Amino acid sequence: MPQPLIERYRDYIPLEPGDPIVSINEGSTPLVEAPRLSERIGAKAYLKIEGANPTGSFKDRGMTVAVSRAKGRGAEAVICASTGNTAASAAAYAVRAGLTGAVIVPEGKIAIGKLAQALIHGARVIALEGNFDDALVIVRELAERHPIELVNSVNPYRIEGQKTAAFELIEELGGPPDALSIPVGNAGNVTAYWKGFQEWDTSPILYGFQAAGSAPLVDGAPVANPETIASAIRIGSPARWEEAMNAFNTSRGRVAAVTDEQILDAYSWLASNEGVFCEPSSAASVAGLLTHGLQTVDGMDKPETVVCVLTGHGLKDPDTALGTAPPVINCVNDITAVEHAVFD
């Protein structure tokens, strides 16, 4: 049975002595070789399957720590703004901790599976007439006014939990990969990976990818009305902007944009060539490598190993899958008709 992440990396997680461990056995996710992707990019590629976390995304790594600390300090409720995955994770960990949860999501802009998760876990789900950035402003203010714990990645305990993914990579590969490719939204996860790599004295090249319609870090300015099919990273004003840019610069990597078309191509290609079904936002990490290659600065050696972080499970967003994949073949109840349907 997988160990709770907090126990596996206890020495690196700054919880207080009396804090409970609120866990659903997150972390320790599979690292999978991707032979066909390796061929396409000319380097050994691995996929870090973060969709294998209990609620289907990397958010659980941060949530176990943030909610454990919240419970330890006597909080009774947690709140977050979310494009969906943080909401699902906060809702589940709130249940484990016996806390109430409230989540604010952009109305009509979160994948249906994530909405189902937040609701079934009993969180109060508020659909805001606004985007993620608007929701984040509101929850920050609410957390100032009320005794409720903010569990967005502006909460430092989220970063402390999420950095453990870097530790797992180093342990599993027997050292850091040469490069890491990661989708970027609010920029908490890239900040966390960089912290983890640095704490273990490593510094792989970080490649971050944003969706072209929501690429403030690439544009160098906030985006007022971010748009993209990759709803999880539909964010115009990342909270951890400076930390993320510092990570890209210090690691001698870069942040670049990928179009929705490139994201969807990578998304279906991964499912039909590597047997891995991730959500569209996650596929930005692969789309970025396919589009921009493994770029280096100052005559550095080209990376020989690269890990793509697949941040969330494909089942989160069945609408995009059904809208992208070939249709079902309807068939009458007759052996010959079925024979044609299968073999023609």
Give contact residues for ligand F0G (rule: CB under 6 A). Answer: 57, 59, 82-86, 153, 183-189, 232-233, 279, 281-282, 311-312
Q: Which is nearer to ligand F0G, 236 or 312 (CB)?
A: 312
Residues 157, 159, 164, 167: is their CA dihedral positive or negative? negative
**Least distance to ligand F0G, CB of residue 82, Å:** 3
Q: Which is nearer to ligand F0G, 181 or 311 (CB)?
A: 311
Q: Which is nearer to ligand F0G, 155 or 189 (CB)?
A: 189
259 vs 46: CA distance, rounded Å: 23
**Least distance to ligand F0G, CB of residue 51, Å:** 8
258: Cβ contacts below 8 Å, ≥ 6 apart: 209, 210, 211, 212, 266, 284, 287, 288, 291, 292
Q: What is the CA radius of gyration of the chain?
A: 20
14: Cβ contacts below 8 Å, ≥ 6 apart: 157, 160
Q: Would you list the DSSP string of 200-251? A: TT--PEEEEEEEGGG-HHHHTS--SS---S-GGG--SS-TTHHHHHHHHHHT
**Least distance to ligand F0G, CB of residue 154, Å:** 11
Is the separation of the CB atoms in 325 and 197 below 8 Å?
no
Q: Which is nearer to ligand F0G, 176 or 185 (CB)?
A: 185
Q: Which is nearer to ligand F0G, 180 or 233 (CB)?
A: 233
Amino acid at 334: D
187 vs 190: CA distance, rounded Å: 6
Q: Which is nearer to ligand F0G, 23 or 186 (CB)?
A: 186
**Least distance to ligand F0G, CB of residue 180, Å:** 13
Q: Which is nearer to ligand F0G, 48 or 59 (CB)?
A: 59
The beta-strand segments (E) located in the chain are 31-33, 44-49, 77-81, 100-106, 124-128, 149-150, 179-183, 205-211, 254-258, 305-310
**Least distance to ligand F0G, CB of residue 115, Å:** 12
**Least distance to ligand F0G, CB of residue 59, Å:** 6
**Least distance to ligand F0G, CB of residue 301, Å:** 28
